[in-house]
Amino acid sequence: MKALSALLCSPTLAAAAKQSGIPERSLYRYLRTPHFADAYRAARSEQVQEALAQLQRVALKAVLMLEQVLTDPMAKGSARVTACKTVLDCAMRTIQADDADAQLMALETTKPKPDLSQLTDEEFVWFRRIRKKLSGSGQAIGTTSV
């Protein structure tokens, strides 16, 4: 699909229109159709996943290079200090991410399921409307079957 490919490879919608030969207005219209928008989001997500995988592959090389600079007595003092700061910053972020993951897991396991039987008819209708809107946005609410 020429439009999808151009959107994925271009920095702006105008550039995608120029690259694909499809009018910018048509690209806007495509992005508003659920099928095309879903395909675009999926392809964009795949691109991001590939980029993250590539970063993970070179991360070890980066850490080894930092370690080399950090332990090289011939390296400039500023380079060694920068390497120290980078290593400490990454270590701290890793700890924070692990803590956040643990907290999220704890919340997810203790999160009570909504008891829909206690809702009035009006509240139940409202709840279903909200759940339907949120399900289109990828957010989750009330997984209990209704």
Domain with 122 in it: 112-146
> What is the predicted pLDDT for the residue at 137?
54
Mean pLDDT, range 11-38, rounded to an integer: 92
Looking from the CA of 37 toward its CB, the CA atoms found within 13 Å total 8
Whether the predicted pLDDT of 142 surpasses 60: no
> What is the predicted pLDDT for the residue at 146?
43
Higher pLDDT, 36 or 143: 36
pTM tops 0.75, yes or no:
no
Distances, alpha carbon 96 to alpha carbons 13, 83, 108, in Å: 36, 20, 18
Residue 103 lies in a domain: yes
- Check whether residue 1 and residue 15 sit in a common domain: yes
- Check whether residue 9 and residue 48 sit in a common domain: yes
User: How many domains would you assign to the chain?
Assistant: 3
- Check whether residue 80 and residue 120 sit in a common domain: no
> What is the predicted pLDDT for the residue at 42?
92
Residue 146 lies in a domain: yes
